[in-house]
Structure 1
Amino acid sequence: MLITDHSGKSDNLCWGLLFGIVFVLGLMCGNGCGKQKAERAANQRGPVPRESPQPPPEVRVPEAKGEIIKVAVIYAATGDASLANKSVFTGVRLAADEINAQGGIHGKKIQLLPFDNRSESLGAKEAAQRAVAEKVIGVVGPARSSFSLACAPVLQKHGIVMVTPTASNPKVTAVGDCIFRICFRDDFQGKLLAIFARKHLKATTAYLVVNANRIYSMGLVDIFAREFPSRGGRIVGKSLYLDASNDFRDILHQIRAVKPDVVFMPSESRDVIYFLKQAYKLKVEKLRMLGSDAWSELPPEYMNIQVQCDAYYSAFWHPTLKTEKSRLFVQKYRRFLGNFESDIIPLSYDAMWVLADALRRARRLDRQAVREALAATRGFQGVTGTITFDKNGDPVNRSAVIMKWVGKKRVFVTAIDPSHINTQQTPP
C-alpha cells in the first residue's frame, strides 16, 4: 500500500549543512573574508524553506511508484480523540492493502494520504482543505459527527466524496450529495435506546446528562427526550456540562436526589470514565447507565472501572454477528487486532471497500462519476452488514447491537433489527 502524509514537522537538515559549508569557506578565506562577508553570506541564504511533511504517529511512508489513485484519510492522530480514532486509519489501511494486492483499481494502486484533524473541528476543516489541495478522488473519515460536519462543506464544494464510518448525526449527510456514511443515524439510535430503556430495562424515569459542546451528544439527548416519554416514561432531570469538564459531582448529587431508573449519557469515552469513577467515590447506589455508540471507543485498559452499576450502550457491530463476511474478517485479523474491542476498525474497513467498489464501477475516474457510482451502491456485502445507500447517502436497514460492561469485558446483549424500530428513511 502507498502512504503519503501531510502533517508538517520542520526538518532543516539541508539548510544546516549549507550553513556549515558557508562557515568553513569563511574561515578558509582568512583576512580577506571578514565578519561582514560571513554575515552577508548568511543573509543571502534566502528564506527558510517550507516545512517538510512528516507522517503522523506510527504511519510509514513508502515511496509512491507507478499510477496511483489518491484517497485521503481524515482522522484524529493527535489530541483527545486520538486514543480511539486512530482505529480509523487501521481499518482503512487493511482494506487498501487488500485492494492493492488484488491489482488495485483498473491496475492503479490506492495511495492513502492521512491527515490529522488534531481532535478539533477547525483541524478537521483544515484537513479537508489539504485533501482538496492534493486533488484526491475521495475521503474516508472522519469518525465523529462534529469533525465530519466541519469537513463536509469543504469537500461538497469541490465535489469530492466523503465516506464517514461512524459519524451518526443526521445533519452530516444533509450537507450534500457527496457525503455518505456507513453507520446508522442517531434518529434510529436514539429511538432504539429509548425503547430498550422502557422495554428491556423496565425504566419509567430517566435523567439526561449531555455535553453542551457536542452536536452528537445534544442531538441524541433531544431524540431520547422525545421518544422515552412517548412510550410512557418520564424525564426527571437534565444536566449539561462543557468540554474538558472533569468534575461531575454536582450532577451526581442531583441524580442521587431524584433516584432515576436510568441515566442516559451519550458522551465520549473520556467523559464517561470521569463520571463513573466519581460515582463510585460518592457511593451513588443503584445507578444504572445507558450510553451510545461513543462508549465503544473506550479502550480496554480503562474498562475496569470500580462502579456499582449496570452499564449498557449501543454499538454498530460485534464480532459474534454470524454473517459470512464478518466471520472471515474476524478469522483473518483476530491475531493482529485481538478481540476487536472497537467497531471503528470494521466500519472504516467497509468505508474504504465501498469507495473502492464505486471506483471500479465508475464510468471514468473523475469526481462526478465516482459520486454517481457511490450513490448507486446497492447490496454491497460488508463486514458490518449489507450496505445500500438511500438518496441522502445514508445506509438503509442497518442493525444495532446492545452491549454491557462486565469488569473489563464488553458483553454482547442483543442485536436489534431496524424493522423493529419505526423510523422514517428515504428509500434507495
Structure 2
Amino acid sequence: MKKNRMIFIILLIFVILSIALFNVKNNKDYNENLGHTSLYVETYLAGKNQLTHPNVIKFDKPWHGYKYWMGYTPYPNGDGEEENPSIAASNDMYKWETPKNLANPIADNEETGCNELKDSQLIYRDDLDRLEMWYLGRVSKNLGGDGETLLLFRKTSKDGINWSKYQVIREFKYVSPAIIWDGEKYCVWGIGFEGQGTKGVFDYFESKDGTNWSDPVHCKIGNDSKTLDMWHGNVTYNEKLKCYELVYIPTSNQEVYYTTSKDKINFDKPKTIVENDGTWTRLYRPTLLFENNQYYCIYGSIGENNENYISMSTGKDINNLTGISDKDISEMADTPMEKCKEKIPFMERLSELKKTFFRLELLVFIPLLFVLGIIFEKNHKSDINRIIIITSLLICEFYMFLKVNFSSIESIVAGLIMGVIQAFVLTSGTMYLLFISKKYK
C-alpha cells in the first residue's frame, strides 16, 4: 500500500508540474516586437489567401505605378503544389495588391516539369531596368527527374506584368537563395540542408552573367562556418551602414535572428530581433527592408492548422522593432485578414503530433536509461521498473513542452498523450536491454 501511495503521489506531482509548465509557456509576456496580425495579400487561389517566403524590393520613385514590389509563393495549409512564384505591389508597405493586368502565378510547376516550385527571390537590375524572379524547383520523378535535385530558375520582366519564359540557371544544393545584383555581378547566398548534403553551412558564390559561377565559400556567423543552425533567411544591402544584413530563423522556427557583414562572408554574432510569444505555431523565412532610417522586417507566420500568412515588424532601431497588430488592420486593407482559427479534430491533432514530434533522437535516451537502471539496481536495490517509467515520462513530456505550441485544452491533452506514447517506447526499449543484460550475465 505504501509503495502504491508513493507512486500515486509522484504521478500527481508530475501532472501538476506539467500543467504548471504548460501554463508558463502559454502565458508568456506579450512580445511587442512580434506581429500579432497578418498583412492581407490576395493570391490567385480564391478564398485561400495564404502565402509565405516574402521578399520586398523598393524604388525611390514608383516603378510602373508602385514603389514596393514583393515576390512570394502561395502556400495554403502547406500545399507545395500551389507554391508558385507570384507578385504583389504596394505604395506604403501596408496595402498590397496584384498589379493591374498581371496574372499570378508568374511561374507554374507544370511548365518546368517540377513537382513543386519554392523559395522565390525578386531582384531589380537597374542597368537593364528589369525585374527578375529567381526560384527553386524540384524535378519530379513522374517527369523523368530523381525527385531530389533542386534547380535554380529565373524569369525576367520589363514592366512587372509580362514575364519571360523560364531559364534554368544551375543546380542548387541549398534552400532559400538570397540574391543581390550589386551593379556588376549576382551575389548569391544559400542555406545548406541535409537533403542535399550541405547541412550546417551558409555558402556564398557569385556570377557576372548567371552562367559562370565561382566556387562556394563557407560564410562564418560568429566564429562558426560548418555547424550553423539555420533554416530560411535573406540578405540585403544597407546603403547607409555600408554593410550586408542577414535575417534568418533557426531550425526551431521561433525567432528571427539578425547579423551583419562588411565583406559578404564574415558575419557578426547573431542576435534576436523578433521572438514568437505563442501567437503563431512557427515563424518562417524573414526578409529585411531599410528605408529613410526605418526598418521593415517581413516574415512568414504559421497558424495552428498550418495556415501560412506573412506578418511584419517595423522600427527605426533594429533592436527595438514593433509588430503590426489589430489596430493596423485599417491601414492594411479594406478586408481584414482571414485568420482561420478553425477547430482541429482531436485525432487529427494527435496524428500531426505523431508525424512531427515522434523523433528518432529520443531513442538516444534508451542507452542512458539502461545505464541508469544498472546503477540503481546495483547500488539501491530499488524497483527499477517504476523509476524507468517515471523518468521516461518526465523526459518525453518535457520534450513535448519544448517543441509544441500548446494553445488549447485539446492541444495540451494531445501533447500529454503523445508524451505517454513516446515514454512507452523508451521504457520498452530500456527494459528489453535490461532483460537481455540479465539473461546473458
TM range (shorter): under 0.3
- Normalized per residue, which structure has more helix? 1
- Normalized per residue, which structure has more strand? 2
Superposition TM-score, scaled by structure 1 size: 0.22
